[in-house]
Amino acid sequence: MSKTGYFTHPDCKKHEMGPGHPECPERLDAIEDRLLVTGLDVALERYEAPPAALADIELAHPRLHIAALRGLHDWLREDLEAGGPPYSQIDPDTSINAYTWPAALRAAGAAIAATDAVMAGEIENAFCAVRPPGHHATRDKAMGFCFFNNVAIAAKYALQRYNLQRVAVVDFDVHHGNGTEDILAGDPRALMVGIFQHPFYPYSGEHPAGPNMLNVPVPAYTRGMEIREIIDITWMPRLEEFKPELIFVSAGFDAHREDDMGQLGMTEQDYAWITMRIKDVARRFSKGRIVSCLEGGYALSALARSVEAHLRVLADV
């Protein structure tokens, strides 16, 4: 049996936000191709992501936010049948098509199902190759390519369903995970550690929203080696002190130096290094349990190589 689960669903490739949009279905194709070419796919246990139950999404989002997205979805579909446009815009970067709602349910459902499989001991850790991503979705607002906060939903779910006392969220996307912070700030059962380019979209994170938030803003052009040093000094003592029983990862790969979305200098070797650090903490405190969810990463080749590096460490291959 493989120790690493790979959760995804075809619906996640049907959601798209218009021609030329960087958060595109080809991102998942690039990852899948890389896993096939490298043979890494055979080392992973593949799972089809189920749709999340609305009651579980409500752990992180008010019913009204969920109903608003559902309403927009129904309206778009009706409008489409009447010959209307294929997209409905939520903000300048974020829009829905006829498949956004089912894809968003599968993305959150992947994180929840991965949590269940890891907690049951079926697998040691998991990677959710899903879109839409989640870490910019606040309690009541879809933004920055995100609709439901997959990681925050699963973290809240893990706390409730398994009565855990301490879950950690590690976010290494180039952008601050403002949505996850909004949802988890002030909950002493959760610790979030993040590193992100600043000042940069979404222009938050400089002043943490709660004592359980460890935000590390870094300037543009910070290199991978410097980021490693910063992580060792800031994240590691805090994670060791917290002793998480389960670790979630907001795995965004847009801090890669080939990714034009940001201006940080990470490479796939740096992502492997970060994953090793996370794994060390997981081994010591959380029985190896890690649930990692795809967030950003828009340079397709760099994204695919970085996910491969991340997965090789998770799966020990």
The set of catalytic residues is 136
Tokens of 298: 């828009």
Rank residues 224 and 252 by Cβ distance to Zn ion and give the closer one: 252
Task: CB nearer to Zn ion: give 27 or 175.
Answer: 175
Nearer to Zn ion, 47 or 145 (CB): 145
Q: Which of 151, 148, 158, 162 is nearest to 128 (CA)?
A: 151
**Cα–Cα dist 195/23, whole Å:** 21
**Nearest to Zn ion of 30, 44 (CB atom):** 30
Work out how close the CB of 176 gets to Zn ion at its nearest, in angstroms, rounded to a whole number. 9
Output the smallest distance, CB 130 to Zn ion, in A. 15
- HEC string of 255-287 equals CECCCCCCCCEECHHHHHHHHHHHHHHHHHHCC
Give the nearer residue to Zn ion in terms of CB position, either 146 or 281: 146
**What 3 state SS string does 172-241 have?**
CCCCCCHHHHHHHCCCCCEEEEEEEECCCCCCCCCCCCCCCEEEEEECCCCEHHHHHHHHHHHHHHHHHH
Rounded CA gap, 147 and 141, in Å?
Answer: 7
Percentage helix, strand, coil for the chain under 3-state DSSP, each rounded to 5: 45, 20, 40
The DSSP bridge pattern shows strands 88-91 and 94-96 to be antiparallel
Residue 2, amino acid:
S
Is 124 or 254 the residue whose CB approaches Zn ion more closely? 254
Q: How far is the CB of 96 from Zn ion (least distance, A)?
A: 19
Cβ atoms within 10 Å of 37's Cβ, excluding its own: 11
State the nearest-atom distance from the C-beta of 243 to Zn ion, in Å. 28
Token reading at 310: 């991340």
Query: Judged by CB, which is closer to Zn ion: 102, or 134?
Result: 134
What whole-number distance in Å separates Cα of residue 111 and Cα of residue 36? 23
Q: Take residue 176 and report the two structure tokens written for it.
A: 């601050």
3 state SS of 15: coil
Q: Three-class SS of residue 291?
A: strand
Can you give the binding site for Zn ion, defined by CB under 5 A? 173, 175, 252, 254, 296
Provide the minimum distance between the beta carbon of 106 and Zn ion in the complex, in angstroms, as a whole number: 20
Q: Cβ(246)–Cβ(164) under 8 Å? A: yes
Radius of gyration of the CA atoms of the chain, in A: 18
Dihedral of CA 223/225/231/233: which sign?
negative
